Amino acid sequence: MGAIEKFQEVLATRHQYAQDWKKKHNGKVIGWLCSYSPVEIMYASGMLPVRILGSHEVQDVTDRYLFPTVCPFSRDALAQGLKGRYNYLDGITMARTCSHVQGTYDNWKNYVPTPFKYYIWQPNHVQSPRAIPLMVREYKGFIAALEKFTGKKITDEALNKAIELYNKNRRLMKQVYEFRKQEVPPITGAECMEMVVASQLMDLAEHNKLLEELLKELPNRKLDRNHGLRLMMIGSEMDDIVFVRMMEELGCTVVIDEHCTGSRYFWDEVKLEKDPLTDIAARYVNRWVCPAVSAEFKPRFDRVLEHAKNWKVQGALVYQQKFCDPHEFDIPHLIKMFKENNIPTLVLEFDVTIPFGQFRTRIEAFLEMLELELV
Amino acid sequence: MTTGTKYKTAPLKCWQKGKELRLEAYRDLATGHEQGKLLVLGCAATPYGMLAGLGDFVFLAGEPYGASVAADPPVSIPAMETYEAKGYARDMCGYMRNFLGTMFQDKYYFTGGPFPKFDFAWSVRHCPAGHPKWHQIVSEYQGIPMNYIDDETMLAIDGDQEARIEYVAGQYLDSIEWMEKITKRKYDDEKGIEAMRNYFINEALWGEINLLNGAIPAPIDIKSMFALMPISMLRRHEKVAIEFLTELRDELKDRIGSNIAAVPNERYRMCMLTPPPWSFLKVFRYLENFGVVFVGTYVYLINSGEVKFLYDEGKVVPATPPEKRPGWKTMKNREDLCRTVARWRAEHPFQSHLDTRKKEYVIMFKHWKANAYLLLINRGCVPMTTSMYDFQRDLNKQGIPTAMFEGNFADCRDIDETGVLDRLETFLEGQGIQKIQEI
């Protein structure tokens, strides 16, 4: 089984993977909501950090808890907890970002029987010089709670090891992303998404080995497909691999992304400058910013445009998890920016499930329009 | 149809004065900038009294402005359509859509003239779903500086609250320096402190006024409270507001002593958690025909007002201004001011966590001697609605009846008035309350 197939397998059997890991390591698993959660600290505690994701199935369990205009991802994630699919979790945490996923956490805390629960008060004024010192103090509280729960001390050595592991993972995934710059990318957008999402579900020691295998394989990898037009995907949470696969079958390749399950999650490394905790804090304060945290367009938009240009995108799919206000605010400004840079955009609104037929038609029309413009 | 006890009623003696003060506040919003006052944008929960250290100012709180526009459909609808034509989504904050719509139209609601250009935006970041982005859009559109204070300590129940207070206080300190730099004005600590003292007193007074509606019959109805609220909401930093709210409080006490009711037919008392649908305030008058009096809404008890909850005793009492609380310092300089404001905000019920808030809802229900809660599933505000079903379930478990309707508090196109009335009438019938026969 190749690395990509292994990523696909983990995604398909994510709950079994985590439970097997628990047995094998006699360890604990901690679920996290929102990509601002400091996975390095969780890993250093000896626990397996696992991102809580939805299942993209119709469900009827969250409406009693969350109003239907809460974003579909937040509702879908809560549904998994309410249905008992994460009953193996020993803990759950989230870092303060948006009020939708806050609703998921609050209801999970009250209605899903997960033993350890910890809320990290992520400073959201990321431009303030006071954010990093506060983040350090917040992390100290988190560490104390984890130590009490696991009975294991989180040493600087353990933190450094976790930083090293996660930084390596980030570097390796960026190397894979570099291959997507090729005129004929040897990896599809869906496969890349599988790789990045798997990194949020797996033990990174294992994930890194698979990445190394993949990096050996990619220089000679030839895909039997029409790579078509080069697209960028931009938005909030996105793990709908079935959708991306469908899109890429229509004559395009997603060559770069900007969302919190993709590049925005892993792009920035922890810079080793001070003590490990301060370095981790600096990473999460200064990372590729989510619109729910930043009150400035520029830091996010500059990076989006830089990536769009570096990966030579011909069009951008701006998708919106329905009712996600912070991203909705950015969309008209993003479209304007792309237009000014001659990059056409298509905006799609996602719910827990999506209208595949309608989306397919719209994407086909978008691709046809792009092809006409390119002639 | 049924009849019942009829209380005596009388208009509020201070009503006219209240209207004049409210008008002054609106006039100031309309012309204050022309008179050389700084015009600052922020959200209503911002401790804007601090701005007094820079000299005279007008603080345009986006939410009450948005509510004013929303209450006027002929203005609101074209404003929101203008906003939507810019590509912004319809499901975002209703207040914001009205505000931004009039800004894009270049029509200032209070004058009908051009929309004012702010000197800067300065606000607490109390709504994670959108308020900082709202101000960000204004800042980009008008090319004005923006700064905000990240202070939602309400979400934290784990960890180091003192660290958060230091962080918030530090941001206030930094923002004073920032304001000095962008306005080229020197910040006068004493003026800032004095205005914030007024602010604290006014919040406590408004909270106390809300609590007086625990009396039967209620001395004031919710619609009249909404009409007077701009004084507490927009003029919290002024002595004139203290004088008025003191007068109003004393008059309400007199009315309680004399058994003067706001609604003479009072026989069923309801309260709310959220703001009302601003374009549909007549719902409150309509329900008076059933003998229903709305005695208060939680949100304005703790937003522009302050009270103290005694959780163990299940009680609520008027708040004390921070400097008079045990263990609090007298403010002498800007460091004290920033620290006091940060700590005050952190301990304010406005910041209560979800689970604490549930307790407060029950305490208020009992204090107001209410018969039911009216819950608005507000499509125009995510944070206020996210956990509404959870609140409903919790209230119902404790035997508190709830009537619920869905709509938008600031988009008249998104509320079915007839449907709402049908639901409420059905609810009241279920409670044994029928329309009172007019004699």
pLDDT of residue B4: 72
Residue B277 has pLDDT above 80, yes or no: yes
Residue A375 has pLDDT above 70, yes or no: no
- Please state, in angstroms and rounded to a whole number, the distance separating the CA atoms of residues A180 and A234: 16
What residues of A are in contact with residue B127 (Cβ under 8 Å)? 99
Instruction: Please say whether the dihedral angle defined by the alpha carbons of residues B343, B349, B350 and B354, taken in this order, is positive or negative.
Output: positive
CB atoms within 10 A of CB B250: 11
Q: Measure A203 CA to nearest chain B CA, in Å.
A: 27
pLDDT of residue B1: 45
Question: Which tens digit of pLDDT belongs to each residue from B362-409?
Answer: 999 999 999 999 999 988 888 888 889 999 999 999 999 999 999 999
Find, in chain A, the residue whose alpha carbon is nearest to that of B154: A121
Residue B438 has pLDDT above 70, yes or no: no
| Confidence at A228, pLDDT banded by 50, 70, 90 | very high
Residue type, B5: T
Instruction: Calculate ∠ Cα B110-B116-B121, nearest 5°.
Output: 115
Residue B2 has pLDDT above 60, yes or no: no
CB atoms within 10 A of CB A202: 24
Find, in chain A, the residue whose alpha carbon is nearest to that of B406: A67
Residue type, A342: N
pLDDT of residue A14: 97
User: Among residues of chain A, what percentage have pLDDT more than 70?
Assistant: 99
CB atoms within 10 A of CB B333: 12
pLDDT of residue A213: 98
Interface test with B, best of A70, A118, A325 (most B CBs within 10 A): A325
What residues of B are in contact with residue A137 (Cβ under 8 Å)? 159-160, 163
Task: Render A146-163 in DSSP notation, one character per residue.
Answer: HHHHHS----HHHHHHHH
In a domain, B86, yes or no: yes
Residue B265 has pLDDT above 50, yes or no: yes
Find, in chain A, the residue whose alpha carbon is nearest to that of B84: A332
Residue entry with tokens 């080229």: B184
Interface test with A, best of B382, B392, B395, B402 (most A CBs within 10 A): B382
In a domain, B285, yes or no: yes
What residues of B are in contact with residue A328 (Cβ under 8 Å)? 88-89, 91-92
In a domain, B435, yes or no: no
Interface test with A, best of B390, B408, B411 (most A CBs within 10 A): B390
Residue A367 has pLDDT above 50, yes or no: yes
What residues of A are in contact with residue B89 (Cβ under 8 Å)? 325, 328, 331
Classify residue B232 by burial, with Cβ atoms within 10 Å: 0-12, 13-18, 19+: buried
In a domain, B103, yes or no: yes
* Cross-chain residue pair B156–A121, CB shorter than 8 Å: yes
A vs B: CB pairs below 8 A = 148
Residue B149 has pLDDT above 90, yes or no: yes
CB atoms within 10 A of CB A182: 15
Question: Which tens digit of pLDDT belongs to each residue from A17-35?
Answer: 999 999 999 999 999 999 9
Quote the domain boundaries for residue B145.
Answer: 8-430
Residue B53 has pLDDT above 70, yes or no: yes
What residues of B are in contact with residue A122 (Cβ under 8 Å)? none
In a domain, B2, yes or no: no
In a domain, B3, yes or no: no
Residue B168 has pLDDT above 80, yes or no: yes
Q: Measure A46 CA to nearest chain B CA, in Å.
A: 21
- Average pLDDT over chain A, rounded to an integer: 95
DSSP B54: G
pLDDT of residue B228: 95
- Residue B149: which of A278, A179, A295, A68 has the closest Cα? A295
In a domain, B437, yes or no: no
pLDDT of residue B264: 95
Average pLDDT (B308-337) is: 97
Average pLDDT (A44-58) is: 97
- Please state, in angstroms and rounded to a whole number, the distance separating the CA atoms of residues A293 and A313: 27
**Number of folded domains that form chain B:** 1
What residues of B are in contact with residue A70 (Cβ under 8 Å)? 382, 386
| Confidence at B202, pLDDT banded by 50, 70, 90 | very high
Average pLDDT (A244-255) is: 97
What residues of B are in contact with residue A36 (Cβ under 8 Å)? none
Judged by average pLDDT, the poorest of A57-66, A150-159, B1-10, B211-220 is B1-10
Residue B7 has pLDDT above 60, yes or no: yes
In a domain, B438, yes or no: no
Query: Domains in chain A, ordered, with CATH?
Result: 3-152 (3.40.50.11890), 158-374 (3.40.50.11900)
* Cross-chain residue pair A130–B171, CB shorter than 8 Å: yes
Residue B79 has pLDDT above 90, yes or no: yes
- Residue B124: which of B53, B196, B45, B58 has the closest Cα? B45
Task: Render A54-104 in DSSP notation, one character per residue.
Answer: ------SSSTTTS-TTS-HHHHHHHHHHHTTTTTT-SEEEEES--HHHHHH
Quick check: B97 and B88 in contact, CB under 8 A? yes
Tell me the two tokens of residue A109. Answer: 């805390």
Judged by average pLDDT, the poorest of A1-15, A171-185, B139-153 is B139-153
Question: Which tens digit of pLDDT belongs to each residue from B26-43?
Answer: 888 888 888 999 999 999
Residue B439 has pLDDT above 60, yes or no: no
Residue A211 has pLDDT above 50, yes or no: yes
Residue B3 has pLDDT above 60, yes or no: no
**Residues near A34 by beta carbon (within 8 Å), at least 6 away in sequence:** A94, A95, A97, A98, A101, A260
What is the maximum alpha-carbon separation in chain A? 65
Residue entry with tokens 């956990």: B387
Instruction: For residue A323, give the nearest of B91, B137, B166 by CB distance.
Output: B91
Residue entry with tokens 């919003």: B29
pLDDT of residue A123: 93
Question: Which tens digit of pLDDT belongs to each residue from B88-101?
Answer: 999 899 999 999 99
The ipTM estimated for the assembled molecules is 0.94
Element (H, E) at A307: helix A298-310
Residue entry with tokens 């037929």: A357
* Cross-chain residue pair A121–B155, CB shorter than 8 Å: yes
* Cross-chain residue pair A124–B382, CB shorter than 8 Å: no
- Please state, in angstroms and rounded to a whole number, the distance separating the CA atoms of residues B141 and B148: 17
